[in-house]
């Protein structure tokens, strides 16, 4: 195999790798993964990889293809420049959209490591919550479900006014990589039994944990 052919194949493969890294990074970012690959979806880094991948893949395609169209090299080159980049970019958009669609809709951003029943008249829970992502997040609501998965109690963030603008006060803000203890008053009393407490926020899942009322 000619050295030039090997070089063009190397360009093509490297271009595919660049674009694949952005697709994988997009999925991991949507899933709120801690993987370093998620950084490949950042717009400045991702744009560089996508453009670089398209250029390398186009050069590789032209270089390899010209070996098989020796009598029509100029026409093949022009058609490749006009058609290949749009086709690659369109394929990338479809793949990137597919990666996001198949990422978890409500990524898990924290976990409840301990539940303590402080009181049951009304119900007050002390929850140890550990962040498991690389992003700061906020927890807006808490839900109590019984053994039949029926909602029996809930706590929603409170609406407050900040500089004349209505906003909602979170239960707590969870810094990346931290573990905090938060106390939630559900303003209700539950009968004895087994329950599940679940924390959430808008488009985020903050874990769940069982507990028992004696």
Query: 127-165, pLDDT tens digit by residue?
Result: 999 888 777 788 888 889 998 888 898 887 654 444 455
CATH of 110-213, one of 1.10.150.170, 2.60.40.10, 1.20.120.790, 1.20.1290.10: 2.60.40.10
Question: Which value, to the nearest 10 degrees, does the dihedral of the CA atoms of residues 117, 119, 122, 125 take?
Answer: -30
Q: What is the mean pLDDT of the chain?
A: 78
* Residue 195: per-residue pLDDT: 94
Locate the domains of the chain by residue range.
Answer: 3-101, 110-213
* Residue 192: per-residue pLDDT: 92
Using CA atoms, how far residue 193 sits from 93, 138, 186, 189, 212, in Å, is 50, 30, 16, 12, 6
């Amino acid at each position: 195999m000619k050295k030039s052919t090997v070089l063009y194949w190397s360009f093509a493969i490297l271009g595919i790798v660049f674009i694949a890294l952005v697709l994988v990074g997009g999925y991991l970012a949507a899933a709120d993964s801690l993987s370093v690959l998620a950084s490949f979806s950042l717009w400045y880094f991702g744009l560089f990889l996508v453009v670089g991948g398209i250029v390398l893949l186009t050069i590789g395609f032209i270089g390899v293809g010209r070996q098989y169209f020796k009598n029509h090299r100029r026409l093949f080159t022009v058609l490749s420049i006009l058609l290949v980049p749009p086709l690659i970019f369109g394929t990338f958009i479809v793949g990137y959209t597919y990666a996001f669609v198949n990422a978890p809709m409500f990524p898990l951003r924290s976990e409840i490591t301990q539940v303590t029943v402080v009181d049951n008249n009304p119900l007050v829970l002390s929850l140890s919550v550990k962040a498991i992502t690389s992003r700061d997040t906020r927890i807006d609501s808490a839900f109590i479900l019984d053994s039949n998965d029926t909602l029996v109690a809930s706590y929603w963030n409170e609406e407050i006014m900040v500089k004349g603008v209505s906003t909602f006060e979170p239960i707590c803000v969870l810094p990346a990589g931290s573990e905090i203890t938060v106390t939630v008053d559900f303003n209700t009393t539950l009968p004895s039994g087994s329950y599940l407490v679940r924390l959430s926020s808008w488009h985020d899942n903050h874990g769940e944990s069982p507990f028992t009322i004696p």
